[in-house]
Amino acid sequence: ADRLSYGVTAREWTDQGYLKVPGRVARTGVQRYLAEELQMTDRKPDEVVKVYRPPEEVFNEDSLKSYEDVDVTNGHPDDLVSADSFKKVAVGHTTDAAQPDGDYVVVPLIVKDKKAIDAVQNGKAALSAGYEATYDYAPGQTEDGEDYEYVQRNIRVNHVALVDQARAGQQAKLFDQAKEPTSGGTERMTTVTLDGKTV
């Protein structure tokens, strides 16, 4: 059920063949990082560290603004995107600041690279933000009773990556999984059968 948006696609195609679509790129709550991702030297590189991303940090105005006009990449690059690397790794960019959507952050994207568009059309629709942040050692527990060691703060986004699996979970993805493009603003409807009735 999660793979069909009742026949209505959020994807929009430009005259140049670019793909415009919004998506969820990050969320609040506890997420798991490897020690090497956090550049910890006192732990084994593959040790899992639980990090809490509180709403007041994820939805901080400066953090949401930092999503505006950052590069979209096909997979995470080896390092943060910069003037030295963007020609090699960028396949599009975000077109506006991000907005809160429940526990998630939503941002509009435009994908311009043909290979990346083909990958999206073939199901690569998960999204993951690449960012810089500070990590405060402050062990605690969420209201839901989930333990964590660190609190992530001062989140500043560098890029948004198309990935096969997002750290933020299955809902961190483009808003639909439609494989057929729409054009001229016309929505393409899909016929489905529910309990013997075709709609």
Task: Specify the amino acid at residue 30.
Answer: V
Percent of the chain whose pLDDT exceeds 90: 58
pTM: 0.78
CA-to-CA distance for 114 and 198, rounded, in angstroms? 35
H helices within the chain, ranges in order? Answer: 55-58, 61-65, 86-89, 114-121
CA-to-CA distance for 135 and 53, rounded, in angstroms? 10
Q: Is the dihedral of CA 72, 37, 46, 77 positive or negative?
A: positive
Given a cut of 90, whether residue 71 has pLDDT beyond it is: yes
The helix or strand, by DSSP H or E, that contains position 52, with its residue range, turns out to be strand 48-53
Percent of the chain whose pLDDT exceeds 70: 78
Looking at residue 126, its pLDDT comes to: 87
Query: CB–CB of 60/97 below 8 Å?
Result: no
What is the residue-averaged pLDDT of the chain? 83
Given a cut of 50, whether residue 5 has pLDDT beyond it is: no
Looking at residue 53, its pLDDT comes to: 95
Given a cut of 60, whether residue 23 has pLDDT beyond it is: yes
Looking at residue 184, its pLDDT comes to: 42
Q: Mean pLDDT lowest for which of 36-40, 123-127, 167-171?
A: 167-171
Q: Is the dihedral of CA 142, 144, 146, 152 positive or negative?
A: negative
Given a cut of 70, whether residue 2 has pLDDT beyond it is: no
Query: Hey, which residues does 20 pair with through a beta bridge?
Result: 12, 110
